[in-house]
Chains A and B, each alone.
Chain A
Amino acid sequence: MVRAYNQEHVYRHPWDRVTTASWRKFTDPDTPAVLSHVLDVHTLSRRLDLAAGRLHTVRSITVRSPPLPFFLRRLVGAEAVVCHCVETSVVDPRARSMEIVAVNASLRGLIEVEERSSYRPHPDNPETWTIFRQETRIRCKPFKALAAVAGKVEQRCADRFQQNSVKGREFVERICKYLEAESSSSTAAAATR
Protein backbone atom coordinates (compact mmCIF):
# COMPACT_ATOMS: atom_id res chain seq x y z
CA MET A 1 0.00 0.00 0.00
CA VAL A 2 1.22 3.45 -0.84
CA ARG A 3 0.33 6.55 1.04
CA ALA A 4 0.65 9.70 -1.04
CA TYR A 5 -0.16 13.28 -0.40
CA ASN A 6 0.34 16.59 -2.10
CA GLN A 7 0.81 20.02 -0.73
CA GLU A 8 1.18 23.50 -2.11
CA HIS A 9 2.41 26.70 -0.62
CA VAL A 10 2.55 30.21 -2.05
CA TYR A 11 5.54 32.30 -1.06
CA ARG A 12 4.93 36.01 -1.50
CA HIS A 13 8.51 36.43 -2.59
CA PRO A 14 10.11 36.25 -6.06
CA TRP A 15 11.51 32.99 -7.39
CA ASP A 16 15.21 33.87 -7.03
CA ARG A 17 14.76 34.77 -3.35
CA VAL A 18 12.76 31.65 -2.50
CA THR A 19 15.19 29.28 -4.23
CA THR A 20 18.09 31.01 -2.44
CA ALA A 21 16.26 30.48 0.86
CA SER A 22 15.60 26.87 -0.07
CA TRP A 23 19.34 26.21 -0.43
CA ARG A 24 19.99 27.91 2.88
CA LYS A 25 17.31 25.89 4.65
CA PHE A 26 19.78 23.11 5.48
CA THR A 27 23.01 25.14 5.63
CA ASP A 28 22.02 28.11 7.78
CA PRO A 29 23.66 28.46 11.22
CA ASP A 30 20.12 28.35 12.71
CA THR A 31 19.24 25.04 11.03
CA PRO A 32 20.24 22.75 13.93
CA ALA A 33 17.97 24.69 16.31
CA VAL A 34 14.99 25.04 13.97
CA LEU A 35 15.11 21.72 12.14
CA SER A 36 16.43 19.49 14.88
CA HIS A 37 15.68 16.28 12.95
CA VAL A 38 18.35 17.26 10.40
CA LEU A 39 21.70 15.95 11.63
CA ASP A 40 23.92 16.62 8.67
CA VAL A 41 23.92 17.74 5.04
CA HIS A 42 26.67 17.16 2.49
CA THR A 43 26.96 18.10 -1.15
CA LEU A 44 28.08 14.94 -2.96
CA SER A 45 28.11 16.14 -6.51
CA ARG A 46 27.56 19.32 -8.42
CA ARG A 47 27.63 19.99 -12.13
CA LEU A 48 26.97 23.22 -13.94
CA ASP A 49 25.79 22.49 -17.45
CA LEU A 50 26.99 25.65 -19.17
CA ALA A 51 25.28 24.90 -22.50
CA ALA A 52 21.84 24.41 -20.94
CA GLY A 53 22.50 26.84 -18.10
CA ARG A 54 21.36 24.31 -15.51
CA LEU A 55 22.78 23.38 -12.15
CA HIS A 56 22.65 19.70 -11.14
CA THR A 57 23.32 18.87 -7.50
CA VAL A 58 23.24 15.74 -5.35
CA ARG A 59 23.20 16.13 -1.58
CA SER A 60 22.93 13.75 1.31
CA ILE A 61 20.62 14.71 4.14
CA THR A 62 21.00 12.75 7.34
CA VAL A 63 17.94 12.85 9.56
CA ARG A 64 16.90 11.32 12.84
CA SER A 65 13.74 9.31 12.48
CA PRO A 66 10.77 9.97 14.75
CA PRO A 67 10.70 7.67 17.82
CA LEU A 68 9.97 4.23 16.45
CA PRO A 69 6.87 2.23 17.34
CA PHE A 70 7.48 -0.48 19.90
CA PHE A 71 7.79 -3.47 17.57
CA LEU A 72 10.34 -1.67 15.38
CA ARG A 73 12.30 -0.59 18.42
CA ARG A 74 12.68 -4.28 19.28
CA LEU A 75 13.62 -5.08 15.70
CA VAL A 76 16.16 -2.30 15.29
CA GLY A 77 17.36 -2.23 18.89
CA ALA A 78 17.14 1.54 19.20
CA GLU A 79 14.51 4.13 20.01
CA ALA A 80 15.14 6.08 16.85
CA VAL A 81 17.35 5.55 13.84
CA VAL A 82 19.58 7.71 11.72
CA CYS A 83 18.48 7.76 8.12
CA HIS A 84 20.38 9.00 5.09
CA CYS A 85 18.38 10.61 2.31
CA VAL A 86 19.65 11.49 -1.14
CA GLU A 87 18.39 14.68 -2.73
CA THR A 88 18.84 15.34 -6.44
CA SER A 89 18.01 18.77 -7.81
CA VAL A 90 18.04 20.67 -11.08
CA VAL A 91 17.83 24.45 -11.22
CA ASP A 92 17.15 26.25 -14.48
CA PRO A 93 17.26 30.00 -13.84
CA ARG A 94 16.24 30.94 -17.41
CA ALA A 95 13.07 28.88 -17.16
CA ARG A 96 12.88 29.81 -13.47
CA SER A 97 12.35 26.27 -12.30
CA MET A 98 13.81 24.24 -9.47
CA GLU A 99 12.99 20.53 -9.23
CA ILE A 100 13.99 18.42 -6.26
CA VAL A 101 13.65 14.68 -5.69
CA ALA A 102 14.54 13.21 -2.31
CA VAL A 103 14.54 9.50 -1.47
CA ASN A 104 15.69 7.58 1.56
CA ALA A 105 18.88 5.59 1.10
CA SER A 106 18.67 3.82 4.47
CA LEU A 107 16.07 1.31 5.63
CA ARG A 108 14.81 0.69 2.11
CA GLY A 109 13.98 -2.87 3.05
CA LEU A 110 11.42 -1.45 5.47
CA ILE A 111 10.12 1.74 3.96
CA GLU A 112 10.46 3.81 0.79
CA VAL A 113 9.87 7.53 0.85
CA GLU A 114 9.98 9.68 -2.26
CA GLU A 115 9.44 13.39 -2.10
CA ARG A 116 9.18 15.44 -5.30
CA SER A 117 9.18 19.20 -4.95
CA SER A 118 9.26 22.16 -7.27
CA TYR A 119 9.56 25.92 -7.02
CA ARG A 120 8.13 27.96 -9.91
CA PRO A 121 6.89 31.50 -10.44
CA HIS A 122 3.22 31.76 -9.41
CA PRO A 123 1.07 31.93 -12.60
CA ASP A 124 -1.03 34.83 -11.25
CA ASN A 125 1.93 36.86 -10.09
CA PRO A 126 5.09 35.46 -11.68
CA GLU A 127 7.41 38.35 -10.86
CA THR A 128 6.73 38.54 -7.13
CA TRP A 129 5.26 35.23 -5.96
CA THR A 130 6.53 31.66 -6.02
CA ILE A 131 4.55 28.45 -5.84
CA PHE A 132 5.96 25.43 -4.05
CA ARG A 133 4.49 22.03 -4.85
CA GLN A 134 5.36 18.80 -3.13
CA GLU A 135 4.28 15.23 -3.64
CA THR A 136 5.28 12.66 -1.05
CA ARG A 137 4.86 8.92 -1.49
CA ILE A 138 5.49 6.57 1.39
CA ARG A 139 5.47 2.81 1.04
CA CYS A 140 6.10 0.28 3.75
CA LYS A 141 7.43 -3.06 2.54
CA PRO A 142 4.68 -5.64 3.00
CA PHE A 143 6.35 -8.09 5.34
CA LYS A 144 3.69 -10.50 6.46
CA ALA A 145 4.53 -9.98 10.10
CA LEU A 146 4.44 -6.26 9.67
CA ALA A 147 1.41 -5.98 7.42
CA ALA A 148 -1.02 -5.40 10.27
CA VAL A 149 0.92 -2.50 11.68
CA ALA A 150 2.39 -1.20 8.43
CA GLY A 151 -0.59 1.07 7.88
CA LYS A 152 -0.08 2.66 11.29
CA VAL A 153 3.62 3.18 10.62
CA GLU A 154 2.87 4.77 7.27
CA GLN A 155 0.40 7.13 8.89
CA ARG A 156 2.88 8.01 11.61
CA CYS A 157 5.61 8.65 9.04
CA ALA A 158 3.23 10.71 6.91
CA ASP A 159 2.27 12.81 9.94
CA ARG A 160 5.87 13.39 10.84
CA PHE A 161 6.94 14.20 7.28
CA GLN A 162 4.13 16.71 7.06
CA GLN A 163 5.10 18.32 10.38
CA ASN A 164 8.73 18.59 9.27
CA SER A 165 7.69 19.91 5.89
CA VAL A 166 5.69 22.69 7.59
CA LYS A 167 8.68 23.50 9.78
CA GLY A 168 10.90 23.64 6.68
CA ARG A 169 8.41 25.90 4.88
CA GLU A 170 8.21 28.29 7.81
CA PHE A 171 11.98 28.42 7.96
CA VAL A 172 12.20 29.21 4.22
CA GLU A 173 9.66 32.02 4.83
CA ARG A 174 11.87 33.37 7.61
CA ILE A 175 15.01 33.31 5.45
CA CYS A 176 13.06 35.02 2.62
CA LYS A 177 12.06 37.85 4.97
CA TYR A 178 15.64 38.18 6.08
CA LEU A 179 16.89 38.27 2.47
CA GLU A 180 14.18 40.81 1.61
CA ALA A 181 15.23 43.10 4.46
CA GLU A 182 18.85 42.69 3.46
CA SER A 183 18.22 43.59 -0.19
CA SER A 184 15.95 46.57 0.62
CA SER A 185 18.46 47.99 3.10
CA SER A 186 21.29 47.67 0.56
CA THR A 187 19.05 49.35 -2.07
CA ALA A 188 18.29 52.14 0.41
CA ALA A 189 21.97 52.51 1.20
CA ALA A 190 22.77 52.68 -2.51
CA ALA A 191 20.04 55.31 -3.02
CA THR A 192 21.39 57.62 -0.33
CA ARG A 193 24.90 57.42 -1.71
Chain B
Amino acid sequence: MGLTKGSPAAQCADLRSAYHDCFNRWFSEKFAKGQCDKEECVAEWEKYKACLLEHLEEKHLRNILLEAEGLSSSIKGDNVSR
Protein backbone atom coordinates (compact mmCIF):
# COMPACT_ATOMS: atom_id res chain seq x y z
CA MET B 1 0.00 0.00 0.00
CA GLY B 2 2.72 2.43 0.96
CA LEU B 3 4.55 1.85 -2.27
CA THR B 4 1.63 2.37 -4.61
CA LYS B 5 0.62 5.44 -2.66
CA GLY B 6 4.12 6.87 -2.94
CA SER B 7 4.50 6.22 -6.62
CA PRO B 8 1.31 6.30 -8.63
CA ALA B 9 1.15 3.85 -11.55
CA ALA B 10 4.43 2.11 -10.72
CA GLN B 11 3.41 -0.51 -13.31
CA CYS B 12 4.09 2.02 -16.07
CA ALA B 13 7.72 2.73 -15.10
CA ASP B 14 9.27 0.91 -18.08
CA LEU B 15 6.93 2.44 -20.65
CA ARG B 16 7.56 5.82 -19.06
CA SER B 17 11.35 5.41 -19.38
CA ALA B 18 10.99 4.41 -23.02
CA TYR B 19 8.87 7.48 -23.68
CA HIS B 20 11.05 9.90 -21.73
CA ASP B 21 14.22 8.59 -23.42
CA CYS B 22 12.65 9.16 -26.81
CA PHE B 23 11.29 12.55 -25.78
CA ASN B 24 14.60 13.76 -24.33
CA ARG B 25 16.43 12.83 -27.51
CA TRP B 26 13.84 14.49 -29.76
CA PHE B 27 13.77 17.61 -27.58
CA SER B 28 17.54 18.15 -27.49
CA GLU B 29 18.38 17.15 -31.06
CA LYS B 30 15.43 18.66 -32.89
CA PHE B 31 12.80 20.65 -31.05
CA ALA B 32 15.05 22.88 -28.93
CA LYS B 33 17.03 23.68 -32.07
CA GLY B 34 13.91 24.94 -33.80
CA GLN B 35 12.77 21.89 -35.78
CA CYS B 36 9.20 21.89 -34.58
CA ASP B 37 7.36 20.75 -37.70
CA LYS B 38 6.87 17.12 -36.77
CA GLU B 39 5.62 15.20 -33.74
CA GLU B 40 7.79 12.27 -32.70
CA CYS B 41 7.74 9.49 -30.08
CA VAL B 42 4.03 9.06 -30.80
CA ALA B 43 4.05 5.24 -30.50
CA GLU B 44 5.95 5.42 -27.19
CA TRP B 45 3.53 8.05 -25.90
CA GLU B 46 0.42 6.07 -26.89
CA LYS B 47 1.66 2.94 -25.08
CA TYR B 48 2.66 4.87 -21.97
CA LYS B 49 -0.63 6.78 -21.91
CA ALA B 50 -2.68 3.59 -22.29
CA CYS B 51 -0.86 2.20 -19.25
CA LEU B 52 -1.56 5.36 -17.24
CA LEU B 53 -5.23 5.24 -18.20
CA GLU B 54 -5.36 1.72 -16.86
CA HIS B 55 -3.30 2.12 -13.70
CA LEU B 56 -3.23 5.73 -12.53
CA GLU B 57 -5.65 5.80 -9.64
CA GLU B 58 -4.87 9.03 -7.81
CA LYS B 59 -8.07 10.98 -8.43
CA HIS B 60 -6.76 14.44 -9.19
CA LEU B 61 -4.02 13.23 -11.55
CA ARG B 62 -6.44 10.88 -13.27
CA ASN B 63 -8.84 13.75 -13.93
CA ILE B 64 -6.08 15.69 -15.68
CA LEU B 65 -5.30 12.65 -17.79
CA LEU B 66 -8.97 12.18 -18.74
CA GLU B 67 -9.48 15.87 -19.43
CA ALA B 68 -6.51 15.88 -21.77
CA GLU B 69 -8.04 12.91 -23.54
CA GLY B 70 -11.42 14.62 -23.75
CA LEU B 71 -12.89 11.65 -21.90
CA SER B 72 -14.08 13.31 -18.72
CA SER B 73 -17.61 14.08 -19.96
CA SER B 74 -18.24 11.02 -22.13
CA ILE B 75 -17.27 8.76 -19.26
CA LYS B 76 -20.35 9.89 -17.35
CA GLY B 77 -22.41 8.48 -20.20
CA ASP B 78 -23.94 11.82 -21.27
CA ASN B 79 -23.54 10.90 -24.90
CA VAL B 80 -25.28 7.58 -24.50
CA SER B 81 -28.49 8.74 -22.82
CA ARG B 82 -30.20 10.19 -25.89
Interface residues of A (CB under 8 A from B): 15-17, 19-20, 23-24, 27, 39-40, 42-48, 50, 53-55, 58, 60, 62, 64, 82, 84, 86, 91, 93-94, 105-106, 179
A93 touches B36 (CB 8 A): yes
Chain B interfacial residues counted at CB < 8 A: 33
Beyond A42-B52, A60-B64, A105-B61, whether A48 also contacts B36 by CB under 8 A is yes
Judge whether B36 and A42 touch: CB under 8 Å. no
- For the complex, is B75 an interface residue (Cβ under 8 Å from A)? no
Q: Which residues of A contact B48 (CB under 8 A)?
A: 43
Chain B window 15-28, contacts with chain A (Cβ cutoff 8 Å), 1 for yes, 0 for no: 01101100110011
Q: B61: which A residues are within 8 A, CB to CB?
A: 42, 44, 60, 84, 86, 105
Chain B positions within 8 Å of A82 at CB level: 5-6
CA distance A50 to B38 in the complex (A): 7
A23 touches B64 (CB 8 A): no
Q: How far is the CA of A43 from the CA of B41 in the complex (A)?
A: 13
Q: Could you tell me the dominant secondary structure of chain B's interface residues?
A: helix
A-B contact pairs, 17 of them (CB 8 A): A19-B32, A20-B27, A20-B28, A24-B24, A27-B24, A42-B8, A43-B20, A45-B68, A50-B39, A60-B58, A64-B6, A82-B5, A86-B64, A91-B32, A93-B33, A93-B34, A105-B60
In the complex, the chain B residue whose C-beta lies closest to that of A19 is B32
Instruction: For the complex, give the distance between the alpha carbons of A17 and B33 in Å.
Output: 9
Beta-carbon contact of A42 and B12 below 8 Å? yes
Closest to A183 in B: B28
**Cβ of B32 and Cβ of A39 under 8 Å apart?**
no
- In the assembly, what is the distance between CA of A131 and CA of B47, in Å? 35
Alpha-carbon gap, A43 to B10, bound state (A): 13
How many angstroms from the CA of A17 to the CA of B24 in the assembled complex?
A: 11
